[in-house]
Structure 1
Amino acid sequence: MAQLPLLVVAAVFAAYVLLVIFKSLHRIGPTQVGLVVKRYGLRSLKADTPVAMRGEAGYQADLLMPGMRFRLWPRFAVYKHPWVQVPAGEIGVVIAQVGKPLPIGAKSARYRTEFGDFSDLHAFLKGGGEKGVQRPVLPPGTLAPIHPIAFIVITAREVFGTPVAPELAALARHGHLAPESFGLDEEQLHVKVIAPGKGGDVVGLVTALEGEPLPQGDIASRLGGYADIAEMESDDDVSDAELIDALLGSKNHEHDNYQDFQKFLDAGGRIGLQHDPLLYGAFLLNPFLLKVELVPMLVVNQGQVAVIKGFVGLPTLDTSGAEFKFGSIVRPGHRGIWQEPLRTGKYAINPRIYAAELVPTSILTLNWANATSHAHDLDSRLESIIGKTREGFVFTIDLQVQIHISDARAPAVISMVGTIRNLVNEVLQAAVGNHFRNTLQGLAAIRFIETRQEVQRAAFDEITRYLAGYQVETRGVYIQDVVFPEALVGVLTRREIANQERATFEEQRRTQLTRVEMEKAKGTADMQAQLASAQVSVEISTNQSLAREATARGDAAYVRVTGEAEADRTRAVGLAEAEATKALELAKAAGFEAQREAIGDLPTALVAVAGAIAAGEIKIAPDVLVTGGSSLDGLAAALIQTLRARESNGARIVETADG
C-alpha cells in the first residue's frame, strides 16, 4: 500500500513527461513556418523591437521550418503561420516592424540588395534594415518564409503576418485585417498594366510620394534636370528636332521604370510629378510610394501639328523677335511655346507639364449654320448670321469659310489666340459676323440679292486681310443659303412668276419658230431629188454660160483687134478717096466756072445735066409714071428741077473748095 502513492506519482510524472514531449513536438507543414514564442527568460526585449534576437523572452527571430520540430513546452510556444505567397497578377507590399527607425522626413525604408525577399531576418537587421514600408515589392509568384512578426506582407487577397501596433492588432484579433486597414484598395495591389484600351493609346503619369523636394519653380522632376539640353544647345548644329528627341526620350531605364524605387532616389529622383511617363507594359509599383494615372497618349494625325506649351525646362528665352508682341516663342527645352511643333506621330508626353494644342494644317471648313462639320466640332458654337438691310428687312445667312494654317506658322498663331477654338469663336466669329451685318445694313434688299456674288467676293477680301494679321490664310468665303423675309419673298415670288411666264412665252415662240424651220426642212427633204436635179442643171448652165462667156470674150477680143485693123484700113482708104474726090470735084468746079463764063449759066447747067444723064447718074424716066398732062411737060419739069439741084451742088462744091 505504501508503494501506491509512489506509483501514482510516477504515473503522473510519466504523463507529464509525455505531455511535455507531446506539446514540445511540432509538425510544421510544407508551406508553413513555426513562430516561436519564449514565455520567460532572464533578458527582456528592448522597447523598440517585438522580436528577440538574443534569446530574450518574446517572439524569437528564428522560425521553425517545415518538418517535425521540438521546442520545450511550456517555456516555448509555437504558432504556425503560412508562407507568404503572392498570387499571379498581384504584388506584395512589405512593412517591417523591426529595424532602425526611419530618418526624419522619410516615408519608406532604405533597401539593400542583401535584404533579398526579406526571408532572412538576421541579414535584414545586420544590414541596417529600417522599420516601415519597404521600397521594393514582392513580385507575383513569390513564396517565402517571411517572419510573421518582423514583417507584414499585404496582398490583394490576404494580409500575412501579425501587426503589433495596437490599433491593427485589435483588427487582427477580430479577423478584420485587410488591405483597406492600411489605406490601400485591392486595385493598388495588382500589377500595374498599361496597354491600349477602348479609349485608344495611353501612357501612365507617375507621381512619386517620396523624395527630395523639387527645386523652387519646378512642377515636375526630371532626372538630372535639363543640363543635357543646355549642353546640346551650346552646339550650333543641333536642330530643334534633336532637342525634342532628347526631351521625349525617357530616362526610365535608370530605375527600371520606377520599379526600383531605391535606384530612383539614388539617381536624384524627387517627390512629385515625374517628367517621364510609363509606356506600355506591366509594372511592379509600390502603391505607398508611387501613384499612376492613365491619360491618353498624344496622337498627331496626318493634316495636324501639335504646338507645345512647355511649363517646365530651362528659363524662357524668346526667339520670336522684337516685332512679335504676343508672347514668348522658345526653342524646345525652354519654358514657353516651342517654335518647332510636333508632326504626325504618337508621343509619350506628360500633358501636365507639356500642353499640346492640335492645329489642323489641312484646309479647315467652318459653317455659320445650324449644322456642324463632321470632321471637327470647332464650329459647334457658330450660328447663322442675322442682319438687317437698309429698309429693315431681316436676313438670315448660312455661311461657309475655309481657312488654312501652315505648320511653320502654327506656334505663332497659338501664341496670339491661345487655341484654335479661340481663333474660331473669338476672332473669326466677330470678324465674319460684323462684316456681313455692316454690309447688309448699307444695301437694299433687292440689291443684296442681285449682287450676292459681289458681296461674297468683298467678304473674301475683307476676311483675308483681317486673318492675315493672325498669320492665317483664307481659302474661301461662300454664302450657302439666305433666308428672306416673308414680305420680300412674296414680292420676289410674283416677280419670278412673271419672269417664268415671260420665259415660257419666249420658249413657246422659239418652239413655233423651230416648228417652222422643221417644216421647211421637211419640205426641203421632200424636194431633195428635184433640188439635186435643179442643182445639177444650174451647174451645167453655169458651166455653159462660163463657156459661152469665154467664147464671147475670145470673139470680142478677135473682133476688137480685127475691127481696129479694119478701121485703120478704112480710115486710110477713106482719107485717100476723100482726097481724090476733093481733087476731082475741084477740077470739075473749075471747068464749070470756065464754061459758065463762056456760055452762060443755063447752057452750062444743061450741058452738065446732059452729061449726067449720059453717064447714067440721073434717071429721067421714073419706073412708074403717073401724070395728068403730057408726058413731055412732066419730063421737062423734072429736068429743070435736076439742073437746079446740080447748080446748087456745084456752087456748094465751089464754096468748099474756096474754103
Structure 2
Amino acid sequence: MPEIIIVLLKVIGIAILGIILLNILITYILGLRVIKSNEIGIVEKWWSTKGSLKNSIIALNKEAGYQPDVLRAGIHFRSAIMYKVKKAPLITIPQGQIGYVFARDGQALEPTQSLGKVIKESNNFQDVRAFIENGGQKGPQRDILREGTYAFNLAQFVVITENKTYCIDNGNATEMQAIESMAEKIREHNGFKPMIIQGDSDFTGIVTIHDGPSLPNGEIIAPIVGENPQDGETYHNNFQNPEAFLKAGGFRGRQYQVITDGTYYLNGLFATVELVKKVVIPVGYVGVVVSYTGRKGKDQSGEAYKHGELVENGCKGVWKEPLNPGKYAFNTYAGSISLVPTTNIILKWIEGETDKTHKYDENLKEVDIITQDAFQPTLPLSVVINIDYRKAPLVIQRFGDIKMLVEQTLDPMVASYFKNIGQRRTLIELIQQRTEIQEEAADKMKEKFNHYSLELEEVLIGTPSAENDKKIETILQQLRDRQVAKEQIETYKHQTYAAEKEKILKESEAKARQQSALTESEINIDIESNKGAAEFRKALQEAEQIKALAEARAAEIKIIASAEAEKEEKVGIAKAVAINKQVEAYGGPQYQVAQIIGEKFAEAIKIAKVPIVPKNIVTLGRNGEHSNASILDTVLALTMNKQLGIDIAKDTEEDNGITEKEIDNTPITNVSKVNEEANDDESNKGNLK
C-alpha cells in the first residue's frame, strides 16, 4: 500500500513538474501572449543580432529596444528570451474632450517650431513607423486627438487627457516633469475641451498662436491668412488646422483674425483664446477706428491738416469712415474704437452737475468773471453742441477723444470768452441782458466751434452768483423787489379794467330788466310825434286858407271904400277917417290877419304837443347885438311880409325901430307872445270880418 502511494506521489510530482516545464516552455520559450480586446501589447526586444539603438527609442530595424508595432487583441507568441511585452489599455477620448500627444522619438524641432508637425500618414499617431519614417518630430504635437478610442504605442507617445496621462515610465524624471507641466498648462487654458462661444454671450475670441515664425520687426498683430475655403492647402478653418495655417504664411503671436460664435477644436498648445466683449455701438453714436496694424495708407485729411493721418478703412491710422450703430467682433489688440455721440451733447459749467450719459463735463465748474463794476461772481453755463458723424474721425484724429477735447480746448475757450463778456458789462446788465448775451455768444462762438469740426447749437447762461458776497445778493433782491412792484401795478390795472367791465355788465343787466318798459315808451313817443306832425300840417293848410280869404276880403274892402269915397266924398272922408281911426285902434288889418294865423298855429302846436321853447335857443343879433325876438316871431313876420304883401315892419317901425331888412335877422326868443296876443284880440275877429 505504501508503495502505491509513493508511486502516485511520484506520478503527480512528475505531472506538476511537466506542467511547470510546459508553462515555462509556452510562456518563456514560445512566448505565448493573450491580448484582450481592450488592451494592446507593447513589445520591447531584449537583444538582437542587429545591435542596440544609439540615438532613438524605437527600433525601426529590429534592433534591441521598443518595437514600433503593438500587439492588438488576440494570441501572440513573443519569446521571453528575446521580447518583453507590456500590456496597456486602449485610450478613449470622451465626447466633447481633446487629447494631446507627446512624441518621445522622432526628428528634432526646428528653431521656429514649438510643436511637432502633423504627419497624416501616422493614422492619428497609431502607426509609429509611419510617423517616424515620414518626418515625425519629437516633443508636443500640433495634431490633437478628437473623440474616439486609440491603440497607442505608449513607448513612443505620451497621451495627455483631462483626467489622466498615459505613458510607460522609462525612468526619465525630467521628461515626466515636463509632461506634467505641459498638462497643467493645458488645464489652465481649459484646453481639454473645445472652445465654445455662445451666440448670446456677446463675446469674441482673440487668438494667440504659439508656433510658427515670429512677426516682422515693428508689427504687433499677425495679419489674416488662409481665410479662403476654396484653397484646401492653406484654409486653416479658424486655426483648427495648424499645418494649413503655417503653410498659408501665418505668424505666431496675436492674430488680427478673431473667432466668433461657434465650437472650435483648437490645440491649446498651438492656440490660446482670450474672450473679449464685442464692441457695441449704440444708436446715437458712431465708432471711430484707430487701427494699430495694416498697410500704410494715403492721408485723406488734406495737406493743410497736420493733426495725424486719416486713412482708408483697413490701413494703419484713423479710419476715414466711422462704424455705424451695431455690434462688431472687433480685435481690441489690433486697434481701438472711440464712441462719438451724434446726438446733442450738453456740457455744463456747473460744479456737481454732469451729464450721466457721457460724463464729458464732470471736471467743469462755473466760470469766474469780473464785471465792469468790480463784482466777482461765478457764471454757470450750459453749451449744447453736436458732432456730424462724417466729421467724427476728424475730431478723434485731432483730440484723441471727446473728453480731452472738452477739458483741453473747449473749457479754456469758453471761459475766456465769457470773462471778456463780463468785463464789458455791469452785474445788473449781465443779469438783465442775458438773452442778448446768449444770442451774441451763440453767433460769435459758432465759427470757433466749427474750426474744431463741432456744431454749436445753443449757449445757455445761468444767474451770476457768489457764496460770500452779500452785495450781489442785495442787488438781486432789489431787482426782485422791482419786479414784484411791476407785477403789482399790472395787477391793479387788470383789477381796474375788471371793475369797469363789471359796471358795464350791471348797467346792461339793468337795461335788460327795463327793456320792455323802454321799448313801450319809445313807441308811444313815436306815435305822439307822428300825431303832432299830422296836426301841424293840417294847421298850416288852414292858415293858408285863412290867409287867402283875408287877402280877398282886404281887396274887397279897398274897392268898396274907394267907391264910397268917390260917391260920398265929403261924408266918406269923415267916415273914412272914422274907419281909419277904428282900424288903427285895433292895430290895422295886417294885425288882424296875423292874429288869426297865430291862433291857428298855436292851436296846432297845442294839439301836437311840440315843445314851443327848445332846450337850445339860437338868437339872432343885429350889428353884433343880441335880440330878444324869438324864431317864431321871425317866422310870422316873414310869412306876413312876403306871402301877404303886408308891411308889418313899416307900421311898427316907429315904435320898434326895426326895418324890413332887419326882420330877416331877428332871433326868435319868445314864442308864447303869439298865444297871448291871440287871446287879447279875440274880440276883434268880428270887426275884421
Work out the CA distance in 1 between the residues paired with 2:311 and 2:86: 67
CA pair 532-80 structure 1, distance change in 2 beyond 3 A? farther
Alignment match, 2:222: 221
2:87 corresponds to which of 58, 80, 91: 80
SS at match of 1:276: strand
Give, in angstroms, the shift of residue 164 of structure 1: 5.3
Determine if the alignment matches structure 1 residue 153 to structure 2 residue 112.
no
SS at match of 1:207: strand
CA pair 501-103 structure 1, distance change in 2 beyond 3 A? closer
Alignment match, 1:202: 203
Alignment match, 1:614: 573
SS at match of 1:525: helix
Asked whether the 8 Å contact 1:32–1:83 carries over to 2, the reply is yes
1:474 corresponds to which of 456, 463, 478: 456
Work out the CA distance in 2 between the residues paired with 1:388 and 1:296: 50
2:265 corresponds to which of 281, 284, 305: 284
Give, in angstroms, the shift of residue 212 of structure 1: 3.0
Asked whether the 8 Å contact 1:316–1:330 carries over to 2, the reply is yes
Asked whether the 8 Å contact 1:179–1:186 carries over to 2, the reply is no
Amino acid at match of 1:358: L
Alignment match, 1:525: 509
CA pair 621-79 structure 1, distance change in 2 beyond 3 A? closer
Gapped runs of 5+ residues in structure 1? 226-245, 571-576, 578-606, 625-659
Query: Which segment drifts farther, 330-339 or 17-26?
Result: 17-26
Alignment of 1:55-454 (within 5 A): 55-73=62-80, 75-139=82-146, 141-162=147-168, 166-169=172-175, 171=177, 177=180, 179-180=182-183, 185=188, 187-196=190-199, 201-223=202-224, 254-369=235-350, 370-391=352-373, 393-454=375-436
Alignment of 1:619-658 (within 5 A): 619=578
CA pair 530-30 structure 1, distance change in 2 beyond 3 A? same
Work out the CA distance in 1 between the residues paired with 2:294 and 2:260: 22
Give, in angstroms, the shift of residue 622 of structure 1: 6.6
The number of residue pairs the alignment matches comes to 554
SS at match of 2:578: coil
Identity of matched residues, %: 27
Give, in angstroms, the shift of residue 30 of structure 1: 3.5
Amino acid at match of 1:428: L
Higher relative contact order (CA 8 A, sep 6+): 1
CA displacement, residues 173-203 of structure 1 (integer Å, 9 cap, x when unaligned): xxx9465466763613321122356xx5222
Work out the CA distance in 2 between the residues paired with 1:499 and 1:543: 62
Asked whether the 8 Å contact 2:234–2:248 carries over to 1, the reply is no
CA displacement, residues 34-79 of structure 1 (integer Å, 9 cap, x when unaligned): 2222233334443332122233222222212234544333543332
Amino acid at match of 1:221: A
Work out the CA distance in 1 between the residues paired with 2:319 and 2:246: 30
Alignment match, 1:489: 473
TM-score by length of 1: 0.72
CA pair 622-434 structure 1, distance change in 2 beyond 3 A? closer
Work out the CA distance in 2 between the residues paired with 1:313 and 1:49: 46
CA pair 112-444 structure 1, distance change in 2 beyond 3 A? same
Gapped runs of 5+ residues in structure 2? 556-565, 584-689
CA pair 507-64 structure 1, distance change in 2 beyond 3 A? same
Work out the CA distance in 1 between the residues paired with 2:151 and 2:426: 94
Give, in angstroms, the shift of residue 148 of structure 1: 0.9
Alignment match, 2:590: none
Amino acid at match of 1:203: T
SS at match of 2:442: helix
Amino acid at match of 1:119: Q
Asked whether the 8 Å contact 1:404–1:472 carries over to 2, the reply is yes
Work out the CA distance in 2 between the residues paired with 1:160 and 1:550: 146
Give, in angstroms, the shift of residue 223 of structure 1: 4.4
SS at match of 1:135: coil
Query: Which segment drifts farther, 263-272 or 316-325?
Result: 316-325
1:38 corresponds to which of 26, 45, 50: 45
CA displacement, residues 432-455 of structure 1 (integer Å, 9 cap, x when unaligned): 233233333443222222122222
SS at match of 1:299: strand
Give, in angstroms, the shift of residue 146 of structure 1: 1.5
Work out the CA distance in 2 between the residues paired with 1:508 and 1:333: 74
Give, in angstroms, the shift of residue 277 of structure 1: 1.1
Work out the CA distance in 2 between the residues paired with 1:304 and 1:414: 13
TM-score by length of 2: 0.69
